Amino acid sequence: MSQKSCLSVILAAGEGTRMKSAMPKVLHAIAGLPMVAHVVKAAEAAGATGLALVIGHGAEEMRKAAQKFAPKAETFVQERRLGTAHAVLAAREAISKGYDDILVMFGDTPLIDAGALAAARQKLAEGAAVAVIGFRPPNPTGYGRLVEKGGRLAAIREEKDCSEAEKKIGFCNAGMMAVAGKHALRLLDKVGNSNAKGEFYLTDIVEIAGAEGLDVVATEASFESALGINNRAEFAEAEGIWQGRRRREAMLSGVTLIAPETVYFSHDTEIGADTIVEPNVWFGPGVKIASGARIHAFSHIEGATIASNCDVGPFARLRPGADLKQKAKVGNFCEIKQATIEEGAKVNHLTYIGDARVGAGANIGAGTITCNYDGYSKFFTDIGEGAFVGSNSSLVAPLTIGKGGYIASGSVITESVPDDALAFGRARQKTLPGKGRELRERFASSAAAKKRVAE
C-alpha cells in the first residue's frame, strides 16, 4: 500500500451556521491548529501524496490559511452546495490525475485517526473498490446505518428510510471513505439527485458499486475519531478529547502532570521526560521543553524553548522568542519575550526581560525591566555573564552591561556599563528630620477642612 499514490479530497465548504461565527467553521482551532489542518495531518500520516481542499464560504480566507498548513494542496471552490458527491466532484481535475486511491474526508472531523484511514486504504489494496469508514456511537439515532450482507456493505441507509430492523443497527456511517482511483469518477458521475432534497449524495456510490459487482466493504473507527463538529458545544468536546489524548501521551512518555485535566497543550508542544508540570499551565504553539524541567503552576508559555533542568514560574509568562538555557530560572510574575536567558541565570521576581540576553550565572533583581521600546522601534539589552542587577532597576536599551557588572538597586541605567563596574543611576537621598510629622499634620488638616465643607 505504501507504494500507491493517494489523493485526499477534504470537503471544507460548509458554512457552519450553527457555529454562529463569521469565520469558516473548519478554521476554528483545536489545540491552536485549524480543525481542517488536523484532518490534513491525518491524511498525510495515512500516506496521502496529494491534497485537494474543496472550499466555499470564505474561500479567500481558506486559501490564505491553507498556505500555512497545506501549502501544496490544490483548492477547488464548490460554487453551489448540491450534496456531498457534488462537492467531491468539484475536485474532478485532481481526481482525474490517476491516483491509485482516493480518500474522501471532512474538514470538521479533527480527531480522525490516521490508522482508520490507513485501514480503509488497506481494503482497497486487498481488492475492494469502496471502503466506507463506520463507527458505533453511544446512540445511533440520527445517523445513517451501514447495512452489511455476507461480510460486504450493501447500503448506507438514512434513518428515515430504515426499517425497524435496520434502526437497531449500531454500526453507523462516519461519512469518510476510500475509493479505488480507477473507479472513482465513473461511480461519482453515476450518482443522481432523485431524492427529496434534489442533492447528489456520496453515500449512493455504495449501491452503485455493488450493482456493478464491485467489492464494497466497511471498516471501523472509534466514535471519538469520527466525531464531527457542528456547534460550539461539540467544538469544546473535541478540544477536551484532543487534550485528554495528548495528556495521556505525555504522561506515558515520562512527563509528570500533577493535575492533568488543568494542563493545556498545543498541537506541536514538545516536552521531555522527567519534566514536571504543575496545575493550570497553558502551552501555546511553538513550545519545546527538554528533559528535567519544572513548570510551576499558572504559567503561560508560547513560542519558547526551555532547556533541561530549567525552573519556570509560578505565574510566569514566556512569550515567543524566549530561550532558556540549562538550569535557568524564571520565577513568579516574570515575563520574558524575545530574549535568551543563559545557563544558570536567574530572573526571579516581578520582572520583564524583552529583546535581551541575560548572561550565564547573572542575577536579575525583583522589579527590574528592560525598557526596549520607544513607541516606534525595539532595542537590545545585553547583560553579561555573572552580572548582578539590583531590584527595581530600569535598563534603557540599547544597552550593554559587562561581565560581572553590578547595578545598584533602584537605578535607571541609560549608558553601557563596563566589565566588573558598579553603576548607580538614581538621585541622591535627602533626609529632612521632623518633616514627615509635619507633612502628615498638614495633610490631615487639609482632609478635615474638606470634610467640614462637604457637611
pLDDT digits (tens, 9 = 90+) for 365-404: 999 999 999 999 999 999 999 999 999 999 999 999 999 9
pLDDT digits (tens, 9 = 90+) for 259-279: 999 999 999 999 999 999 999
The residues facing 219 across adjacent strands are 133
Length of the chain: 455
pLDDT of residue 195: 79
27-41, 54-68, 180-194, 294-308: which range is least confident on average? Answer: 54-68
What are the Cα distances from residue 304, in Å, to 230, 325, 352?
33, 11, 15
pLDDT digits (tens, 9 = 90+) for 55-85: 987 888 989 999 999 999 999 999 888 899 9
The residues facing 412 across adjacent strands are 394
448 touches 432 (CB < 8 A): no
pLDDT of residue 1: 46
| E-only strand ranges, 62-215 | 74-77, 101-106, 130-135, 145-149, 152-157, 172-180
Mean pLDDT computed over 158-169: 88
- Phi then psi dihedrals of residue 439, to 5 deg: -65, -45
pLDDT of residue 303: 98
pLDDT of residue 158: 85
Q: Give the Cβ contact number of residue 122 at 10 Å.
A: 14
pLDDT digits (tens, 9 = 90+) for 92-101: 999 999 999 9
281 touches 302 (CB < 8 A): no
**Any idea of the CA torsion for 62, 66, 72, 78, to the nearest 10 degrees?**
-20
d(CA 241, CA 224): 8
Domain boundaries, the chain: 6-220, 232-423
**Secondary structure of residue 204 in the 3-state scheme:** helix
What are the Cα distances from residue 115, in Å, to 4, 11, 48, 128?
16, 20, 13, 18
Pairing of strands 130-135, 216-220: parallel
Where do runs of H (alpha helix) occur along 229-293? Answer: 232-252
> Which residue in 218, 235, 216 sits closest to 34, CA to CA?
235
152-166, 219-233, 372-386, 394-408: which range is least confident on average? Answer: 152-166
Cell numbers for 267: 498541537
Percentages helix, strand, coil for the chain, rounded to the nearest 5? 25, 30, 45
Mean pLDDT computed over 145-168: 89
pLDDT of residue 59: 85
d(CA 82, CA 103): 20
CATH no. of 6-220: 3.90.550.10
> Which residue in 234, 176, 237, 224 sits closest to 18, CA to CA?
234
The domain at 232-423 falls in which architecture? 3 Solenoid (2.160)
pLDDT of residue 2: 55
CB-based contacts of 414: which residues, under 8 Å, 6+ apart? 396, 399, 425
DSSP state of 346: E
CA angle centred on 53, ends 16 and 122, rounded to 5°: 110
> For all residues of the chain together, what is the average pLDDT?
94
pLDDT digits (tens, 9 = 90+) for 327-357: 999 999 999 999 999 999 999 999 999 999 9
Residues forming the active site: 349
